[in-house]
Amino acid sequence: MSLLGVKVGFPSILCRMRHIVSSGDRVVEGAGALLLRASGSLLSAPEELVMSDSPKLSPVAELLKLLDLEPIEVNIFRGVSPEGRTQRVFGGQVLAQALVAAYRTVEERVCHSLHAYFLLPGDPRAPILYEVDRSRDGKSFTSRRVVAIQHGRPIFHMAVSFQVMETGLDHAVAPPPVPPPEELPGEDELREELAGKIPERHRQHFLRKRPIELRPVDRRDILNPAKAPPQQCVWVRAAERLADGISLHQGVLAYASDMTLLDTSLRPHGISIFSDRIQIASIDHAMWFHRPFRADEWLLYVQDSPSGSGARGFSRGLVYTREGALVASAVQEGLMRLRGEAGP
């Protein structure tokens, strides 16, 4: 059996630093010998991760480099954060890196669910160690527990379940009718419109190119949003073509799934995620992968927030292909505490 043109056995994906460039469409084979194979061994030496004649890495290649975890010992891997980041580590990065670490200890199986808790803010200036506990290897299912460690303390832990591919009963709810992504303005265009309102010291960071392209269906002022129902739909995809391999595409979607989900809980309150009035952070995050997909093709992220209480926002998301296939679901609870109010 194969998924996305790759055997379920997850053969190594050697992603060289060079990009394949065609007319208008770049295929990112990877960065820094990204290997999402069961054994997790690297096929290139560390010095080969940077080519002297290579241009500056694109945002997608930088993301793939983040997912290229370094094996330290059996079941232990080391990850890094993007250069220049000074605030806490982005939650989607830790989700994706932890999923990669778990995949490095599994053969012939595909992740169908993950459940994670964010315990402490990650320090982007320090490496993150991912320790994988091989909890169970059954005939059909495999369980792993991943703990992310910094400065000697766990900052994150995640339970991951893998399954041998099987066939069976199949159903799914349909996506809502929305305009196709080609009819919507791109994120770069929207950010250019807002650039003049951003303080100059933050403008360059605000306008930087990103590895994930977002096209919101419902345009709104992200700096001064009006109150709106706690729902949103966003088209999302990797900004460049990716190599094959379902583990790679699941990792990229895990990264992207954390980008807008908590924002949905703020919509009925008319508060921007950039506001100094509020403290926001991911508390937990769960995902279920239902069907094969490609993260470099447009996916519709349908999100809602059924509840906000106790300084927490609860949000859900369904991810569809543009053909209407439900490929993944996500659920998150996040802190949304008004500043000045007492916390625990």
Residues serving a catalytic function are: 258, 282, 332
Q: Are 294 and 223 in contact (CB under 8 A)?
A: no
For the record, the structure tokens of 199 come out as 């303080």
Strand partners, 212: 238
Residue whose C-alpha is closest to residue 30's, from 56, 71, 65, 81: 65
Owner of token pair 């080391």: 78
CA atoms of 7 and 136, how far apart (whole Å): 23
CA atoms of 115 and 158, how far apart (whole Å): 5
Output the CA torsion 120→42→242→147 (10° steps): -20
Taking CA 28 as the corner, what is the angle to CA 23 and CA 33, rounded to the nearest 5 degrees?
150
Residue whose C-alpha is closest to residue 337's, from 260, 256, 283: 283
Residue whose C-alpha is closest to residue 8's, from 343, 292, 220, 329: 292
